[in-house]
Structure 1
Amino acid sequence: MTDIPRLEDLAAHLGDLSGQRIFVRTDFNVPLDESGAITDDFRIRAALPTIKWLTERGAFVVCGSHLGRPKGAPDPRYAMDAVRARLAELAPGVELIENLRFDPGETGNSSDFVAQLTDGIDGYVNDAFGASHRAHASIVGPPQHVPSAMGRLLEKEVDVLLGLRNRPKHPFVAVLGGAKVSDKLGVIEALLEIVDEIVIGGAMCFTFFLAQGKQVGASLHEPDQVDVCAGLLAKAAELGKTIHLPDDINGTDAGGNFAQFGSRLGEGSIGYDIGPGSAAAFTDVIMDARMVFWNGPMGMFEDERFASGTRTVAQAMADTKAFTVVGGGDSAAALAQFKLDDEVDHVSTGGGASLELLENGDLPGLEALRTGMTT
């Protein structure tokens, strides 16, 4: 997006960054264990190129981020202490303010909270791709008040994901999983216009099974979305596109014992993963592609009994010669768990943001930078 100011534009507007106070909206929403220790600092490290670019030019950087889901009030479980300590190791001298969502003005996009964030600030940089689909105060507010730009991480995410949308290489395959099909209806609709094939796993496949008249036992499904799924299958056929659904399922029988099924599950049975045949078939589709986007696990991979489907797809993403993009969230966590995160071309820092950008071609955070104070 050439119409969004970059770091160089911000520097040109301010003239000399030395001594300038720059507020960088980062996404340091990192996973924590029960003791409050960081288990994966990927999102902190992902912001370093922007932070270092600014500090090397003499700017004083103040970072702000959310962490977890506090209810608009201070919550010690989500305090930024551990993040602040890690940031100090990686980027000494950089300030990190307290969790933005401790103030209800953040999610409420309060003008008073925006004024508080921009008080004494000379410039603003949005480097929080994973939060840029939210019209929150720290995302859409500052560009209206101070010279602003996108950081290196946000710039790269936008370039890669809009490249999928606007400059696809065919065959282009989308691999979608996760629990709820309702979370991905919009992106499925949009992807049908640009991809050649869609692979669907995870619990969302069961609502599609119902649309085909199959039994799903006690598996997670959304009855109110069955007609919508039937419409998507019909639209795919009309467009000459293919939606691949699993032919076999791993799960538990009515007694709670591990079991393997076809694509019809009896009463009391629950599906938790795609089966080995489906995993092999999905691998073939991925290996034949020139471009692949993956968002959502194939099953409950946190449980080793139901990890094989997601592991197989992750390995295919690593092995294929296609340009591969993983849309953050649980898919990125799965890649890290299987130690394959360095084997794909791009791992996004935002699950929901990547889906919304693919669906709509824009995000509230990008629009704010585009329409804010010119730099």
Structure 2
Amino acid sequence: MGGLTIPTMDDIDIRSKKVLLRIDINSPVDENGKIIDDSRIKAHVETIKELIDKDNSVVLMSHQGRPGDKDFISLEEHSKLISKHLNREVIFVDDVIGPYAREIIKNLKNGEILLLDNVRLISEELIEAPPQQHVKTFLVRKLTPFFNIYINDAFATAHRSQPSIVGFPLVLPSAAGRVMEREVSALARIFNAEDTPKIFVLGGGKVHDTIRIIENLMRTRIADRILTGGLVAELFSVAKGMNLNTKNMEILERMGILSLVPRARKLLLSGAPIEIPVDYKVEINGNVIEEPASKITGVIKDIGPATVEIYSSLIKDAKVVVLRGPMGVIEDERFRDGSKSVLKASLEGWGYVIIGGGHMISALDKDMKIDNNKVHISTGGGALLLFLSGERLPALEALSMSMTNRVMNNAS
């Protein structure tokens, strides 16, 4: 992936060791601080089980929220949910690097699992710096002596250059966990020259981010077609000189999207294979109406049926489909059809499908069958964005450095 070789759990001896496992169980919480979605917690069960089955003792490390935010809470509830999904006890300690935590780690027996408290209680964890600098942090220096191995299974934080992500690989034999490994191998297909045509379905409201992605897709010449929806489609429609009416233009102006028109126009002029909707579902005085893109009178809320048909036929012939961001305002049931239809076409096609971002995942219907051999649902928000934007991910760089160091040490 991007020229990096990442060690996996198959590349190191992980039997009867003391393992530090960095996971990402950062979960949405309600106003009372209770977890309302434990999907990220469930994702790591496979890696933890494999390590326990190989007679290791496992210390889990994760963050939750940021200091000052309402979701910056203890990981005590997380430990109970991990216990439930593993069907075995997970010890929780309300400490990270203090004497209490270190004593429990020291006495942990093979087969036992310990979850440390929120790693962001340690202020160093909020600092972005190179791995060589993070090796010197208290977090890394205090904990390293107690472990034989470090495993990073936290792809969703792979874009962070923080001590728990990049510090330990330079001082401990390290590898990617199963979640990280799956993410890396799925995303590697985006760069595989043999997997073509590749279609990117890009929508939603994060237009600044999506422009960066499209600019990288053009630099690398990866995308055969880019199908747009949501505010992304509106931006490129304006860049093509289409009249979206005063109300839609006011919305784009208010959101700071019209400032991106010159960049969008430059992409179009450079030959970017960008498709824009030919019709939309719009709202007029609370009523839903279908209108051609050339004669928009209402507020745009979703792509229309003709666009769905065109997009679906293109998707079904693709070898790789990457979906990021919805086609419409999916929070409103009346405007979910566009997103659901392109998802359905992707799942029914014969290509490999990568679904990134919570909004597209939420558009999945219960009756949509997910074939795990050909569908990858990414856990990474910011990490996936940076990857698609062509930037290196510090977590992967650190794991690669760990592998290089190990090879050089063995050679000498």
Name the CA shift for 1:191/1:374 in 2 (closer, same or farther; >3 Å): same
Aligned twin of 2:49: 52
Name the CA shift for 1:265/1:186 in 2 (closer, same or farther; >3 Å): same
Aligned partner of residue 151 in structure 2, secondary structure: strand
What TM-score, normalized by structure 2, do the two folds share? 0.79
Alignment of 1:62-73 (within 5 A): 62-67=59-64, 69-70=65-66, 72=67
Q: Which amino acid aligns with 1:97?
A: L
Deviation per CA, 1:179-223: give whole Å up to 9, x if none: 132102232123230221110111121111221122342334512
- Unpaired runs of at least 5, structure 2: 91-112, 129-133, 408-412
1:146 correspondence with 2:177: no
Contact 2:189/2:195 (CA < 8 Å) preserved in 1?
no
Once residues 222 and 233 of structure 2 are traced to their aligned partners in structure 1, the CA distance between those partners, rounded to angstroms, is 21
Aligned twin of 1:243: 274
Aligned partner of residue 231 in structure 2, secondary structure: coil
Aligned twin of 1:225: 260
Deviates most, 273-282 or 38-47: 38-47
Name the CA shift for 1:195/1:224 in 2 (closer, same or farther; >3 Å): same
Aligned twin of 1:195: 223
Deviates most, 72-81 or 196-205: 72-81
Once residues 88 and 5 of structure 1 are traced to their aligned partners in structure 2, the CA distance between those partners, rounded to angstroms, is 28
Number of aligned pairs?
361
Of the three residues 321, 331, 334, the one matched with 1:305 is 334
Q: Which amino acid aligns with 1:318?
A: L
Name the CA shift for 1:280/1:140 in 2 (closer, same or farther; >3 Å): same
Aligned twin of 1:96: 115
Once residues 36 and 50 of structure 2 are traced to their aligned partners in structure 1, the CA distance between those partners, rounded to angstroms, is 26
Bigger-Rg structure (1/2): 2
Deviation per CA, 1:113-156: give whole Å up to 9, x if none: 34355463332111111110121221112112222111122112
Aligned partner of residue 133 in structure 1, secondary structure: coil
Report the aligned-residue RMSD: 2.7
Alignment of 1:1-375 (within 5 A): 3-11=5-13, 17-18=15-16, 20-33=17-30, 36-67=33-64, 69-70=65-66, 72=67, 78-91=73-86, 92=88, 93=90, 94-109=113-128, 111-116=137-142, 118=144, 120-192=146-218, 193-216=221-244, 217=248, 218-220=250-252, 222-236=257-271, 242-253=273-284, 255=285, 257-263=287-293, 269-335=298-364, 340=368, 342-343=370-371, 345-360=375-390, 362-372=392-402, 373-374=405-406
Contact 2:28/2:71 (CA < 8 Å) preserved in 1?
no
What TM-score, normalized by structure 1, do the two folds share? 0.86
Name the CA shift for 1:260/1:162 in 2 (closer, same or farther; >3 Å): same
Once residues 103 and 265 of structure 1 are traced to their aligned partners in structure 2, the CA distance between those partners, rounded to angstroms, is 56
Aligned partner of residue 6 in structure 1, secondary structure: coil
Once residues 132 and 317 of structure 1 are traced to their aligned partners in structure 2, the CA distance between those partners, rounded to angstroms, is 27
Name the CA shift for 1:256/1:364 in 2 (closer, same or farther; >3 Å): same
Once residues 176 and 195 of structure 2 are traced to their aligned partners in structure 1, the CA distance between those partners, rounded to angstroms, is 27
